[in-house]
Copies of this chain bind each other. A is one copy, B any other.
Amino acid sequence: MKKGIANYNVGDGFDGFMMIKSASKGVASNGKPFLTLILKDASGEIESKLWEATSEDEAVFQAEELVKLSGEVTSFRGRPQLKIQSIRPVQATDGVAPEDFVEKAPIKKEALMERITEAVFEMKNPNIQRLVRYFVQKYQEALLTFPAATKNHHAYVSGLAHHIVSMLNLARELKELYPSLNKDLLYAGVILHDLGKLKELSGAAAPNYTMEGKLIGHIPMMVQEIGQAAEELKITGEEVTILQHLVLSHHGKSEWGSPKPPLVREAEVLHLIDMLDAKMNMLDRALGKVQPGEFTERLFSMEQRSFYKPLFEDK
């Protein structure tokens, strides 16, 4: 058995376990009901149809359930589909657990936490340090489990912390290369910039947008939280406004959701390294799926570009 559904090709047989990500009922052209199942494991997902589904099937095969399947990978309208030969719910004796079917960051939570803590320790400006520590402590649990987005980049468990840590590493190197940068501001911006997502999204495992997330958005929500935290901690001074500005402007342009563009040097850098890390994450995932000499699928958040993997990459 191959390792992970993402590595199966059309024509391959499949015999193993998967988690149902979503299940919805339809009616076939012959008038009989069927279920459309989106199945996933830690490597990716695949669509499947359960034809002539009984109402019992409907009751059993629901989202978040684990199943044992055998079947074959076929192609439907150019996309892979799993043709089911047999399917049953998992049993206690199968020895599989939900966490095996969820994608996670490649670095452990403890290591991510350690790097974030270290960055907070390095800060010299007491106002900045206290504000950042406040948020790291307040949201520690969610911060270490949420994804950075529902799709596109770092869209996996602990994705947000993984993104933060990558950006902290980038920030550390940039401080070496451009010594005029204020490291405290940059580290604080990196840690805080996306924390509003902890309220914009509904959870770590199967995140959706909350009502507040849709009507306000993570950027103004976080600007507000920084203001409230500063009041609670009785911190005054320009640091509060500047940190709010870093969060506010990190999307770079008003069309992209930042009502003010970066107007402080570290805000500009924060925007650039956020883009850089997100793009590296997307490219690594997309290029990992193709062979040298091939183009990737079109990447939605990179202007629909298809990237090429050079032949000499393999040497």
Asked whether B245 lies within 8 Å of A216 as measured between CB atoms, the reply is: yes
For residue A77, which residue of chain B has the nearest CB?
Answer: B26
Does any Cβ of B come within 8 Å of A205's Cβ?
Answer: no
Within 8 A of B (CB), among A25-44: 25-31
For the complex, give the distance between the alpha carbons of A3 and B307 in Å.
Answer: 43
Shortest distance between the CB of A66 and any CB in chain B (Å): 25
Asked whether B259 lies within 8 Å of A308 as measured between CB atoms, the reply is: no
Asked whether A217 lies within 8 Å of B260 as measured between CB atoms, the reply is: yes
Asked whether A178 lies within 8 Å of B284 as measured between CB atoms, the reply is: yes
Q: Residues of A within 8 Å of B, CB-based: how many?
A: 84
The stretch from A146-154, A166-174, A186-194 touching chain B is A166-174
A177 with B166, Cβ < 8 A, contacts A255-B254, A305-B261 known: yes
Shortest distance between the CB of A283 and any CB in chain B (Å): 5
Does any Cβ of B come within 8 Å of A241's Cβ?
Answer: yes
Cβ-neighbour of A310 out of B77, B180, B242, B293 (below 8 A) = B242
For residue A178, which residue of chain B has the nearest CB?
Answer: B280
The stretch from A88-96, A112-120, A131-139, A219-227 touching chain B is A219-227
Contacts of A178 on B, CB cut-off 8 Å? 280, 284
Residue interface mask A252-289, B partner, CB < 8 A = 1: 00111111111111001100100110011001100100
For residue A225, which residue of chain B has the nearest CB?
Answer: B227
For residue A81, which residue of chain B has the nearest CB?
Answer: B27
Contacts of A30 on B, CB cut-off 8 Å? 29-30
Contacts of A291 on B, CB cut-off 8 Å? none
The stretch from A14-22, A55-63, A207-215 touching chain B is A207-215
Asked whether B238 lies within 8 Å of A220 as measured between CB atoms, the reply is: no
Contacts of A254 on B, CB cut-off 8 Å? 254-257, 259
For residue A311, which residue of chain B has the nearest CB?
Answer: B238
Cβ-neighbour of A223 out of B27, B224, B268, B295 (below 8 A) = B224
Does any Cβ of B come within 8 Å of A75's Cβ?
Answer: yes
Asked whether B217 lies within 8 Å of A259 as measured between CB atoms, the reply is: yes
For the complex, give the distance between the alpha carbons of A302 and B267 in Å.
Answer: 13
Cβ-neighbour of A220 out of B26, B125, B248 (below 8 A) = B248
Does any Cβ of B come within 8 Å of A8's Cβ?
Answer: no
With A30-B30, A239-B310, A265-B287 given, can you name 19 additional A-B contacts, CB distance below 8 Å? A25-B75, A170-B177, A173-B173, A211-B238, A211-B241, A211-B293, A215-B242, A215-B244, A216-B245, A216-B248, A219-B259, A224-B228, A238-B310, A239-B312, A259-B259, A263-B307, A265-B307, A269-B276, A272-B272
Query: Which of A's residues lie within 8 Å of B, judged by CB?
Result: 24-31, 49, 51, 74-77, 81, 83, 125, 166, 169-170, 173-174, 176-178, 180, 182, 185, 211-212, 214-217, 219-220, 223-224, 227-228, 231, 237-239, 241-242, 244-245, 248, 254-265, 268-269, 272, 275-276, 279-280, 283-284, 287, 293, 295, 302-303, 305-308, 310-313, 315
Please provide the 5 A-B residue pairs with the shortest distance between their CB atoms, ordered closest to farther.
Answer: A173-B173, A215-B245, A224-B224, A224-B227, A27-B74
